Structure 1
Amino acid sequence: MSILTNLKTRLTGEKAALALDDIQALILRSRPEPYVGVHAMLHIDDAAGGRDLLRRMAGHVPSAAGWTDDRDAWMGLAISFQGLKALGVPQASLDTFPLPFQQGMAQRAEQLRDFGSNAPEHWDEAFAPGACHIALTIYARDDAALAVALDQAMKELDQSSGVTLVGRHAFGADADAKNPFGFRDSISQPFVAGSGVEPLPGQERAIAAGEFILGENSETGKPVAMPEPPELGRNGSFVVLRKYESQVGAFNDFVRSQAQSESDEELLAAKLVGRWRSGAPLPLAPERDDPELGADPQRNNGFDFSRDPRGLVCPHAAHMRRLNPRDSQLSILTDVNIHRIIRRSSTYGPKWHRELTAQDDTGERGIYFIFISARAYDTIEFLQQEWINRGNFIDLGTERDPVVGLHETPGTFTIPQQPVRRRVDGVTTFNRLRGGEYLFMPSLGALRWIADARWS
């Protein structure tokens, strides 16, 4: 069952409570499977020219009003703080944005634990401080649809002045939607209250819309603080974009070095991630992969960890369990629901295969980790500090996430077993950060408000 077909079977028939015609579709619309696309980073050299381009591009950004409808391609648009300044947004409005957004991702390296090989001095030029003002993302079902959408976008850029294309990167995956390490990706997504769609098994209750849409009530019962005036902030959201270069061969080598057979390799890889490569979760397939389960959106997220409190099936340190502990008992109490994120990650480069070694890690494979949240900057800095690069919250001290953690020296991964737990040594940095930015995704009305300089 495709993502789109699955969504249509879950329509409630009731009118959505959100202002879907003002919200960018990318916030609610998942990428297709298979998918192709392009990320483009633009720099604004002239405010009037930048606003002219924004006006042109806004017409190609669909709203969420038809987010469950068939569509061959669609675009999302987000703007950095320096981009808003370059567009001429008044200082009084700029001052109402969160401090991390104002500072930008590179300046928040300490809070993000972006040290060593992940430090900003190693990032791509497109993500140098102040370089990326506008980020455009186009998702499409196939190459033909992408070509049409990309041609439209480039024509608008060519007809505008005062804007420079500083980076462009193609991405895509086949119908299996596998990430660079060969695992089905972006399975677990929160259910947004008021979107007009029933949740899937495993999505638990609806998460308050204000956790994702500015101006709506959040899990606290009140809206998260939003930029002012309301014409600028309402129905928008915040975006975290982080480009990773995946060390797929090094990951393969590590797994091989710790296993006696191919089946042992697959089990260890599943323990590191929390799912088998097909997407089947360990709590539902504890002993072997189940591709049919992994491909079934009605079942592949229908689980919790209540029957695995010790982590004997899915280790507490597994990537999936760290980033969504669900009902796990945590040593450091945390409201998991205010750290939920809508993921729009995209894979780039050739597909994974078992024979790859560290010598094949030439920088051609990776993932753009992109997520949307009204609390995006608090969330990513919390995740980086606590759930990814520490282990205190699960009684594992300094142990880090085995997939996305920064391991400046070889680390350890703990697998609970009876009678004695197993510690796997030699975990290294399997995803190296190559850039990123903090972005604001305005509503469609706000795009027009900026483009027309309605503050004047």
Structure 2
Amino acid sequence: MSTSAPPPLDLNNIQGDILVGIAKKTETYYFFQIDSSRVNDFRKQLSQLVPLIYTSAKSQDDKKKIADRKRTDAGLLKIGGVNIVFSRKGLNLLGIKDNTGDTAFEAGMLAGAKDLHDNGTTTPDNKFDPDWIPAFKKQIHGLVLVSADSHQTVDESLRKVEQIFKVGTPNATIYQVLRLVGDVRPGNEAGHEHFGFLDGVSQPAVDGVDNHLPGQDVVRQGIILVGRQGDVTTTRPAWALDGSFLAFRYLPQLVPEFNAFLKANPVPGVLPPDFASDLAGARLVGRWKSGAPIDIAFAADNPTLGADKQNNDLFRYNFDFDQDIQSQARCPFAAHTRKTNPRADLDQFGGTELKRILRRGIQFGPELTAEEISLGRTQKDRGLLFAAYQSNIPNGFQFIQQSWANNVTFPPGKKDQKTGGTIQAGFDPIIGQAGPGLPRTMNGFDPKAQSTNLSLTAEWVLSKGGEYFFSPSLPTLKNVFALPADQREL
């Protein structure tokens, strides 16, 4: 990539799900393979897809329209946002062989499944076979994301995409490998993941794009976009400018089992039992279900605080071992929200900016049935379609999973001033993975006995596969990935 300054940022050039996020009630992930005998045809057709691509400018405009509609009760805005991304194998098939400078993307997620501590087995020839659904072990060349206000709108948009690529005809240039459908949860659960906790509370704002709230982290554009200020990788091809890397993970959740664990492991000495179990969940997650951070609301939930979008301005996990009450009494070091965004815990080491990601996932699956609640056992698939954008996967998603969530020594670089040893906080109880068959523990669960380990009897979030993708800018999609205009008629 050129060392000269890039042109001013133009949101019309950036796919819509990256910087702003496409507003959605439902979303379909359409994973595909390209017919290797029809690559040129696919590249010709790709130019026809470009006009359907939702841009960040369009997403930003939609957010304003949605805000206006909420004030006037005008109903849902019809949205059918299409984005497209490609794996390394997909780029290879298109003849785009340039190294992107991102080692995780170049290798693919399957190659790194063992390092992520996904469950699986090692074959006799010493190859790791993750416990993924079969589709993610196949070659996936690309992914079409369709975000919409309704399933009907998704179907309309997907029909247009399939018509462009002649899906279902003898001349089809792509084949569906897998289709996953996610939906915002209904009613009062909208915005909450399946364990019941408000999600997406601490997304960072991107400098020059978002109007950030007090306390909200602001990251440079290059933390998310390739080639912009803050992108620490300098060996990029010119066409990568204003693209972003997408980490996708298919994450079923064992909700009845998680709820049963909380019921069986209330915070000691707290009454009544139901409240003690709710407090247990809050200490594992780092927030109450309302979204209220336990670093502030450490004794009881505060729904008003949870609903306040500025509540991130009120806490930083200020780390002070001279005042032991300020260490884990309020919030365990291993709590999910603290593990994935340690805030002031890392201020003396340069902060967390390089590790921030923009999450754009959605929940999937039905609500709990009465039988599941009664038995305490999952019978229907539900969970999270995790999707996160960043300019550098090893610094972003991979680092958060491997070096924070899976790392029992946390916060990194900190010493226990009483013992002089490293702090052994344990695993992130929600997404931390120990590796196949290995136990997980955390401490800090009991605020009155912070060094006591809690055995995490199961993994309640299961990794069942995924892939790394590159989301190109619209100029790159049109002029590099699509067949150049002067070759389309040959």
Same fold (TM > 0.5): yes
Q: 1:340 to 1:146 in 2, by over 3 A?
A: same
* Alpha-carbon distance, 1:140 to partner: 1.6
Q: 1:301 to 1:183 in 2, by over 3 A?
A: farther
**2:176 aligns with one of 153, 162, 165:** 165
Q: 1:306 to 1:362 in 2, by over 3 A?
A: same
TM-score computed with the length of structure 1 as normaliser: 0.85
* Alpha-carbon distance, 1:147 to partner: 3.5
CA contact (8 A) 2:283 2:445 kept: no
**1:424 aligns with one of 430, 450, 454:** 454
**Partner amino acid for 2:443?**
T
Q: 1:418 to 1:114 in 2, by over 3 A?
A: closer
Gap regions ≥5 residues in structure 1: 1-15
CA contact (8 A) 1:275 1:281 kept: yes
**1:272 aligns with one of 261, 265, 284:** 284
**Partner amino acid for 2:30?**
A
Q: CA RMSD of the aligned region, Å?
A: 2.8
Q: Give yes or no for the alignment of 1:293 onto 2:305.
A: yes
Residue correspondence of structure 1 range 199-348 to structure 2 within 5 A: 199-204=212-217, 206-218=218-230, 224-225=233-234, 227-228=236-237, 230=238, 232-259=239-266, 261-299=273-311, 302-306=314-318, 309-328=326-345, 333=349, 335-348=351-364
* Alpha-carbon distance, 1:326 to partner: 0.7
Q: Give yes or no for the alignment of 1:412 onto 2:441.
A: yes
**Partner amino acid for 1:114?**
D
The residue aligned with 1:128 is 137
The residue aligned with 1:382 is 399
* Alpha-carbon distance, 1:325 to partner: 0.4
- Larger deviation: 369-378 or 388-397? 388-397
* Alpha-carbon distance, 1:388 to partner: 1.1
Q: Deviations over 1:90-147 (max 9, x none)?
A: x3x2x34423212111111233222438975421232114x21111112222334333
**Partner amino acid for 1:264?**
A
TM-score computed with the length of structure 2 as normaliser: 0.80
Which whole-Å CA distance do the structure 1 matches of 2:310 and 2:80 have between them? 25
Q: Deviations over 1:273-311 (max 9, x none)?
A: 011112222123222223333233243665322287402
CA contact (8 A) 1:390 1:400 kept: yes
- Larger deviation: 265-274 or 73-82? 73-82
* Alpha-carbon distance, 1:245 to partner: 1.4
CA contact (8 A) 1:19 1:235 kept: no
- Larger deviation: 302-311 or 441-450? 302-311
* Alpha-carbon distance, 1:83 to partner: 0.4
Q: 1:455 to 1:326 in 2, by over 3 A?
A: farther
Which whole-Å CA distance do the structure 1 matches of 2:256 and 2:182 have between them? 20
Which whole-Å CA distance do the structure 2 matches of 1:20 and 1:77 have between them? 16
CA contact (8 A) 1:235 1:442 kept: yes
Residue correspondence of structure 1 range 13-52 to structure 2 within 5 A: 18-32=9-23, 35-46=25-36, 47-52=39-44
Q: 1:138 to 1:290 in 2, by over 3 A?
A: farther
* Alpha-carbon distance, 1:17 to partner: 5.2
- Larger deviation: 424-433 or 359-368? 359-368
Q: Deviations over 1:356-394 (max 9, x none)?
A: 367532351111221100012332332232201112133
The residue aligned with 1:179 is 193
- Identity score, percent: 28
- Larger deviation: 48-57 or 254-263? 48-57
Which whole-Å CA distance do the structure 2 matches of 1:373 and 1:52 have between them? 29
Q: Deviations over 1:19-51 (max 9, x none)?
A: 211111111223547x21111101011312332
CA contact (8 A) 2:354 2:395 kept: no
Partner-residue secondary structure (3-state), 1:202 = coil
Q: 1:117 to 1:193 in 2, by over 3 A?
A: farther
Which whole-Å CA distance do the structure 2 matches of 1:124 and 1:302 have between them? 42
Which whole-Å CA distance do the structure 1 matches of 2:306 and 2:448 have between them? 30
Bigger radius of gyration, 1 or 2? 2
Which whole-Å CA distance do the structure 1 matches of 2:350 and 2:313 have between them? 22
Partner-residue secondary structure (3-state), 1:393 = coil
Partner-residue secondary structure (3-state), 1:434 = coil
The residue aligned with 1:361 is 378
- Larger deviation: 175-184 or 287-296? 287-296
Q: Deviations over 1:204-241 (max 9, x none)?
A: 4x2111111111110xxx6533531x1x2111011111
The residue aligned with 1:10 is none
The residue aligned with 1:103 is 107
**Partner amino acid for 2:444?**
I
Q: Deviations over 1:220-271 (max 9, x none)?
A: xx6533531x1x2111011111111111122112111112721111110011
Which whole-Å CA distance do the structure 2 matches of 1:401 and 1:87 have between them? 39
The residue aligned with 1:59 is 51
* Alpha-carbon distance, 1:453 to partner: 4.6
- Larger deviation: 174-183 or 143-152? 143-152
CA contact (8 A) 2:120 2:129 kept: no
Q: Give yes or no for the alignment of 1:148 onto 2:164.
A: no
Partner-residue secondary structure (3-state), 1:376 = coil
Gap regions ≥5 residues in structure 2: 1-6, 63-76, 123-127, 267-271, 320-324, 412-421
Partner-residue secondary structure (3-state), 1:424 = strand
The residue aligned with 1:77 is 84
